[in-house]
């Protein structure tokens, strides 16, 4: 259970005055935590903007394929662009090691009992990475469809990854995650023949939560759709260079 984002103790029973007071307390704590986070997020964004770096925060349930997508993305970009990856997991260095194995620079944050990254942790991670001019910074959040939604890390784009094994109803059931993501990647399309996942219904559900969301359909395993994804990323750097 998360010990910092206030997600415990929010059970609300209208008939129970004591519970109601408890909820007010927890809302106040949550508000204060998010205000501190927003302060650090602003600082992170300024740090990135000074370097003209583009930062993307990847959020999803565990196992949707965030690290797999980052392995392929780093491999596709690193010939031409500098890339830094911040990895977030409760425990282990597994994901950072996977990125290093494909030649990327990565810093692993272990959140322990906490179920999301916050902007303060990410700011410290930046100190361990060489974040160069006109580079990409990819942040892989802790696999969790709830808490990471509330924490701005100072990123420029937030990418929600959903895989075809999770069910096309997830955008409706976890609306915060999809509301705060400007871009959604539907991954594991190679598994569509074997699972009851309706891609059109999933996209409709995403748009019910965020009308203008950008959607990519791809399979990291087969590589289908990866070119379009990588082209979009390259266009982000080009836009930045053209606006300075
Ligand atoms: N069939 C198929 N499997 C995939 C695809 N992408 C990833 N996987 C597999 O899905 C599993 C989880 O992938 P990861 O990349 O570790 O997922 P993750 O989102 O980083 O997981 P956490 O960091 O634990 O949240 C691995 O066994 C991958 O090989 C895909 O496009 N198709
Ligand atoms: Mg991962």
Q: What is the pTM of this model?
A: 0.92
pLDDT of 11 > 70? The answer is no
Least confident of 33-37, 123-127, 150-154, 222-226: 33-37
Largest Cα separation within the chain, whole Å, is 62
Query: Which domains does the chain show, CATH number per domain?
Result: 17-243 (3.40.50.300)
Site residues for ligand 1, CB cut-off 6 Å: 60, 62-68, 95, 143, 187-188, 190-191, 219-221
Q: What is the Å distance from ligand 2's center to 69 Cα?
A: 9
Q: What is the Å distance from ligand 2's center to 145 Cα?
A: 14
User: Could you report the per-residue pLDDT of 44-89, keeping only the tens digit for each?
Assistant: 999 999 999 999 999 999 999 999 999 999 999 999 999 999 999 9
**DSSP annotation of 153:** -
Query: Cα separation of 129 and 137, whole Å?
Result: 10
| pLDDT for res 170 | 98
| pLDDT for res 63 | 98
- What token pair was written down for 191? 């598994």
User: Could you report the per-residue pLDDT of 117-148, keeping only the tens digit for each?
Assistant: 999 999 999 999 999 999 999 999 999 999 99
| pLDDT for res 20 | 64
Hey, which of 57, 65, 92 would you mutate to test ligand 1's pocket, going by the most ligand atoms within 8 Å of its Cβ?
A: 65
Q: What is the Å distance from ligand 1's center to 163 Cα?
A: 9
pLDDT of 185 > 60? The answer is yes
Query: Cα separation of 140 and 96, whole Å?
Result: 10
Looking at ligand 1, which atom is closest to the CA of residue 61?
A: 25
Strand boundaries in 30-151, DSSP class E: 54-60, 83-89, 105-110, 136-140
């Amino acid at each position: 259970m998360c010990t910092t984002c206030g997600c415990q103790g929010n059970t609300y029973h209208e008939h129970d005055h004591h519970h109601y007071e408890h909820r007010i307390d927890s809302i106040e704590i949550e508000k204060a935590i998010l205000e501190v986070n927003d302060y650090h997020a602003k600082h992170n964004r300024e740090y990135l903007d000074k370097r003209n770096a583009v930062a993307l925060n990847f959020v999803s349930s565990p196992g949707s394929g965030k690290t797999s997508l980052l392995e392929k993305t780093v491999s596709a970009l690193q010939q031409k662009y500098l890339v830094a990856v911040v990895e977030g997991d409760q425990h282990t260095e597994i994901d950072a090691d996977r990125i290093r194995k494909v030649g990327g620079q990565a810093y692993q944050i272990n959140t322990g009992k906490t179920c999301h990254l916050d902007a303060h942790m990410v700011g410290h991670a930046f100190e361990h990475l060489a974040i160069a001019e006109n580079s990409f910074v990819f942040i892989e959040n802790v696999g969790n469809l709830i808490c990471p939604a509330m924490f701005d890390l100072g990123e420029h784009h937030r990418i929600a990854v959903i895989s075809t094994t999770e069910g096309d109803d997830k955008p409706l059931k976890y609306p915060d995650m999809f509301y705060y993501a400007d871009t959604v990647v539907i991954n594991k399309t190679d598994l569509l023949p074997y699972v009851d996942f309706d891609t059109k219904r999933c996209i409709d559900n995403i748009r019910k939560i965020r009308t203008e969301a950008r959607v990519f359909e791809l399979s990291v395993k087969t590589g289908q759709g990866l070119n379009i994804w990588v082209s979009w990323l390259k266009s982000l750097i080009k836009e930045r260079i053209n606006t300075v």
